[in-house]
Amino acid sequence: MDQATITLSVELSYQGAPFHGFARQEGLDTVQGCVEDALQVLFRRPVETVCAGRTDAGVHARGQVVSFELDACEVEARGLPAIARSLNALTPPSIGIRGIQERPAGFSARFDAQSREYRYFLSTQPVPPLVMRDFCWHMPGELDIAAMNHAAAYLIGEHDFKSFCLAASAQGKSTTRCVLELTVDPVEIAGDELVCMRVVGTAFLHSMVRTMAGTLAMVGRGLREPSWVQQVLQARTREAAGQTAPAQGLVFWKVEY
Amino acid sequence: MDQATITLSVELSYQGAPFHGFARQEGLDTVQGCVEDALQVLFRRPVETVCAGRTDAGVHARGQVVSFELDACEVEARGLPAIARSLNALTPPSIGIRGIQERPAGFSARFDAQSREYRYFLSTQPVPPLVMRDFCWHMPGELDIAAMNHAAAYLIGEHDFKSFCLAASAQGKSTTRCVLELTVDPVEIAGDELVCMRVVGTAFLHSMVRTMAGTLAMVGRGLREPSWVQQVLQARTREAAGQTAPAQGLVFWKVEY
């Protein structure tokens, strides 16, 4: 007899530094490993999880979403708030379970995401910012933000982003993605001036956001003209783009369903 | 023959966690110890420093100011920007030298300060904030901000703040201080909602800001009426006030000269 199952999702934030990325890898500290271990302790059986975006080692998350299925009786026995509290207690302090909700049957945090938002923070001040020190790419010097926005405009819309994808991950798969919004703005955070690249898209390739940040940074530095970004897109090879910006400046910000 | 001396000040930020406070203590990592050691390496002689506010262990600074004297020839040989860069290179990464300037002869970062500003951050969300995690007092639950501001109003102006001073430090010294501004406001920092207590005063007693934060938090929690703060002031004993709020929520924000 089939037991009724209930699909849940949790929203979680985490600091990137303590983890070898989101995806479970045996013998390494990963976010998925911590969450699944906590679920196993709580429900005394393995529970598989699916996430909205597999973040790399060192990348932070403010609003990662993870979905999983439980038996109806497992949910009813505890209630959602208690499950969230228990997961918080059973995961390391660098992971925060911010919310939990029931989803329609068959919901997937990955496949049902309508859009994903990432933010990449740069600090151009001579010394690193106080609070954001471990959440930015510290690159002292001037950045031409208008030029970066000009360049960013070429990346908005549906394009083949093969040049912005880690080469090994691009093999034999479609590298076409749709960028809905991409802006670069000065922001003040806890008394420090930073630059924030905000990008919203339906989905992203491996290292795509960090390669965009590294590429736009070259334009901001005046090393390339904004229109160069169009050539980078057309080249369809990773070598054409700028560097992969450091992981610690990237925050997986939000997912819309 | 007297050599001409030049008085300099540096503005520095630092994270509180790595240090046993600002003031030099032999055998312990302190901010003053790091800065004076760097000056000694640079100028091959001991250089004494004076700070605007001696922060306790765990307290952060965004705009601490430190003054010291150099011989004119020592300044001329290098120039101010190079001195600042060298100090940055010779201090740990958790200390940032944000600026350097020449001051009038006899200037003291401590005695010439017109006002000092501190900010105390509280997080009332169920899970700690992402970026501000190590820069706040995490106290899940509701805070009545209007009541806290009502209570804060009693503390503005010149008062005997003996009840807000670490008892041992209050012995035999004046405990009258002047609070110029004191407000409590919700703030959004890097995608998280926090509460910020901002206080400006001419000078502060030992633990005064943290005791204010702990006292106002009791009002915010509804454990005391706002007018209770007036009784706390009048009691002139540390036991009358609320707890000393944790050091990690406090940031020494700015000094005006």
- Statement to judge: residues B167 and B77 lie in one domain: no
Q: Digits of tens for pLDDT over chain B (257 positions)? A: 457 999 999 999 999 999 999 999 999 999 999 999 999 999 999 999 999 999 999 999 999 999 999 999 999 999 999 999 999 999 999 999 999 999 999 999 999 999 999 999 999 999 999 999 999 999 999 999 999 999 999 999 999 999 999 877 777 889 999 999 999 999 999 999 999 999 999 999 999 999 999 999 999 999 999 999 999 999 999 999 999 999 999 999 999 99
Say whether residue B89 is in contact with chain A using an 8 A CB cutoff: no
**Pick from A125, A127, A135: CB nearest B131:** A135
**Within a domain: residue A109?**
no
Model confidence over A88-127: pLDDT tens digits?
A: 999 999 999 999 999 999 999 999 999 999 999 999 999 9
Model confidence over B129-159: pLDDT tens digits?
A: 999 999 999 999 999 999 999 999 999 999 9
Do B190 and A135 count as a contact with CB atoms less than 8 A apart?
yes
What is the pTM for the complete model shown?
0.94
Integer angstrom CA distances of residue B111 from A69, A138, A194, A234, B206: 64, 35, 33, 63, 16
What is the domain-level CATH number for residue B156?
Answer: 3.30.70.660
**Which domain, by its residues, includes A82?**
5-103
- Statement to judge: residues A123 and A248 lie in one domain: yes
**Within a domain: residue A98?**
yes
**Within a domain: residue B224?**
yes
C-alpha–C-alpha distance, residues A212 and A163, integer Å: 10
Say whether residue A27 is in contact with chain B using an 8 A CB cutoff: no
Model confidence over A41-52: pLDDT tens digits?
A: 999 999 999 999
Nearest 10 degrees: Cα torsion A157, A158, A164, A170: 160
- Statement to judge: residues B121 and B241 lie in one domain: yes
Residue of B nearest to A132 (CA): B131
**Pick from B61, B96, B130: CB nearest A127:** B96
- Statement to judge: residues A50 and A95 lie in one domain: yes
End residue of a domain, out of A50, A81, A103: A103
Do B191 and A132 count as a contact with CB atoms less than 8 A apart?
no
- Statement to judge: residues B21 and B99 lie in one domain: yes
Say whether residue B86 is in contact with chain A using an 8 A CB cutoff: no
Active-site position among B2, B37, B56, B185: B56
Model confidence over A117-155: pLDDT tens digits?
A: 999 999 999 999 999 999 999 999 999 999 999 999 999
End residue of a domain, out of B103, B129, B158: B103
DSSP secondary structure string for all residues of A106-152: T--TTTT--EEEEEEEEE-SSS--STTGGGSEE--S---HHHHHHHH
A209 φ, ψ to 5°? -70, -40
- Statement to judge: residues A130 and A226 lie in one domain: yes
- Statement to judge: residues A198 and A163 lie in one domain: yes
Say whether residue B41 is in contact with chain A using an 8 A CB cutoff: no
Look up the ipTM and state it: 0.92
C-alpha–C-alpha distance, residues B227 and B120, integer Å: 21
C-alpha–C-alpha distance, residues B126 and B134, integer Å: 15
Bridge partner residues of A13 (DSSP): A96
End residue of a domain, out of B51, B81, B103: B103
**Within a domain: residue B109?**
no
- Statement to judge: residues B212 and B160 lie in one domain: yes
What is the domain-level CATH number for residue B24?
Answer: 3.30.70.580
Residue of A nearest to B89 (CA): A127
- Statement to judge: residues A121 and A95 lie in one domain: no
Q: How many domains are there within chain B?
A: 2
C-alpha–C-alpha distance, residues B203 and B224, integer Å: 27
- Statement to judge: residues A251 and A131 lie in one domain: yes
Say whether residue A132 is in contact with chain B using an 8 A CB cutoff: yes
